[in-house]
Structure 1
């Protein structure tokens, strides 16, 4: 009788553990699609408008409602706290699907699929700049800044030029695996996308001109800075905001309409002042360097996996992005003329 009871307990434990193990496999994948995203477009990076802001490169996201990809413009944003760097999102092919892995903030740049986003994100590592003494120093070899307001700059041309435009990892796309440094960064605490980043994606999703079925891989708005929209050539644009059929997305146009520029600038100035205040407090209260600090962070978790029903359409070609060391103080980079 005891033997039978032990067997039942063991069987029940295995039955419970099985779905848990399966759920853990899906952690980190936000959404899936059956078709590959378009190539990464080539575009000009606008100047960084505010000292302390970090460049978050543009990427293709997927809309379930529209069954379509849409381009989320690259943008200068304030990090959640001094010392944090952005690991971009990426798509990866696996077992018939292209899975979306959301980006995150952390003390080190992690794995982003070997995708060459340009501007210091060349597929492996990060070369856009470094944090030093609570302030960010910009590498103007790969990042454009407004020199009238930003003076913490340096030039480091020691990075690998990578000109491929693969938008996903896997057959027909980038061929890269996490380095030891990237794997270590993945185990650290992360902070998910900020409110301004979410607003940027919501704006892109609601604007038909950003959808691949409309722009055929050449979005009307390639990047954003300080409330302004820019074309791929770097020209300021006043693209008409044409919403999709989904009514829950209509309120996000306020983040780019010209009538909201003053409000946006005020929010950015206030956010910059808060960052500088936190940096000053950390310099006076912490005995160890900034990159060793481990403030309490929100654990990044990805939404549930969703499967799409579009027809398969993998991209052709293959490639292996150039690499380099990743991490907080440097690493491999990419061609900055994107």
Structure 2
């Protein structure tokens, strides 16, 4: 255990050093206010989903876990590894930073130290930060006790431990899609409680010098850039900041961040392609549901969308799994533009039907594909296969109606129902097979 006097010296040094860095050239009062209430940066694109990783073991008694997060720099989003750090002084807890959507931008609310764990957007960072409060440990007098149910305290002799799974279960926000931001149509929907609003007025302290250096090293590590790793950083977590700094320096020397990396990073949006693809599927579903799009038109649109997904998949395979380069992105955008015009024309060409249960089910299937693509639960290959199947079913409905003067007989309805059941089962499996975009 670290004594109160040594912790106080660490706290004074860390806070003073932090305020002298370029990231915090403001007065102490202003820094505390900006950290607890303000937004330090605004970005037009959402952060990638949170990666799943294993918490390193506790390096020594007295350390507190700070979860990893997506930060923004001159090369776009980059992952800051989760790590164990010493608090500035006894009795303080870490409130993680979070991204919040408002006014069509994503704003970063920096983390801070304080006597309570305040609001951090409901983001489930794991390891005790389940979206509400912190339950990986607690202060009891001058000592910090670790909750074995959330903290990896297996490699050191720690007597200040307890085990409480109930408090974690009751304060964990289920986030199967690993969304990394609060608000907006697809973000985590949680508002601060009255207690969290009151805690925002507590005395807060900046991140320590080690924490700030930790983020600066991550910003210079090419392997941590989302535009390079596609949302899967090379270093997810580290036992302490110093251990990662050595790794980051090796990466910086072996392959520094280039001007092209910075250009790609600033324009890179891990959700851009899947959002646009999801929007196209959504427009097909809306057209079917309203009757503005016939089954034949939907079949053609689904085939075009499947072809685009096939192209994205082929490009990524050619890149060894890396994100698409600028030329490839431009080619995909051109194809999406053509599909967008086609869908618009189909929805405004006067070819309308009176939708029935068959059309509604077609719309529901396209809606489920859109949801899977938007959440990342469907890969490009899975979306391609789902759209090909749906295009086949749509074409079958179209052919049957043409052959029967606009109607379908009972055997034809039953056949389409069986095909839709099969397609529905496949969509369900693809959305729950743990393969993610």
Compute the TM-score of the two structures, normalised by the length of structure 2.
0.48
Aligned partner of 2:182 in structure 1 is 169
1:26-37 correspondence runs (5 A): 28-37=38-47
Distance 2:248 2:212 in 1: 21
Q: Is the 8 A contact 2:220 2:248 kept in 1?
A: no
Aligned partner of 1:217 in structure 2 is 231
Distance 1:130 1:167 in 2: 25
1:245 is displaced (CA, Å) by 4.4
1:124 is displaced (CA, Å) by 1.0
Aligned partner of 1:58 in structure 2 is 68
Deviates more, 1:309-318 or 1:172-181: 309-318
Output one character per residue of 1:203-260: Cα deviation in whole Å (capped at 9) or x when no partner. Answer: 1100010000011111000011143349xxxxx99973343248xxxxxxxxxxxxxx
User: Is 1:207 the counterpart of 2:221 in the alignment?
Assistant: yes
Number of residue pairs matched by the alignment: 227
Distance 2:202 2:37 in 1: 15
- Structure 2: give runs of 5+ residues left out of the alignment: 1-32, 260-265, 276-373, 377-437
Aligned partner of 1:183 in structure 2 is 197
Aligned partner of 2:55 in structure 1 is 45
Q: Is the 8 A contact 1:86 1:105 kept in 2?
A: yes
Name the Cα RMSD after superposition: 2.9
Output one character per residue of 1:189-215: Cα deviation in whole Å (capped at 9) or x when no partner. Answer: 100110010011001100010000011
User: Is 1:228 the counterpart of 2:239 in the alignment?
Assistant: no
Higher relative contact order (CA 8 A, sep 6+): 1
Q: Is the 8 A contact 2:92 2:115 kept in 1?
A: yes
Instruction: Classify 1:34/1:157 alpha carbon distance in 2 versus 1 (closer, same or farther; 3 Å).
Output: same
1:185 is displaced (CA, Å) by 1.2
The correspondence for 1:134, drawn from 142, 147, 165, is: 142
Aligned partner of 1:17 in structure 2 is none
- Structure 1: give runs of 5+ residues left out of the alignment: 1-22, 231-235, 247-307, 319-338
Instruction: Classify 1:181/1:221 alpha carbon distance in 2 versus 1 (closer, same or farther; 3 Å).
Output: same
Distance 2:139 2:100 in 1: 30
Q: Is the 8 A contact 2:227 2:268 kept in 1?
A: no
Compute the TM-score of the two structures, normalised by the length of structure 1.
0.62
Aligned partner of 1:101 in structure 2 is 109
Runs of 4+ in 1 over 6 A off after TM superposition: 236-239, 308-312
Aligned partner of 1:193 in structure 2 is 207
Q: Is the 8 A contact 1:85 1:109 kept in 2?
A: yes
Distance 1:110 1:213 in 2: 31
Which one has a larger percent strand, Structure 1 or Structure 2? 1
Distance 1:132 1:43 in 2: 29
Distance 2:181 2:211 in 1: 21
Which one has a larger percent helix, Structure 1 or Structure 2? 2
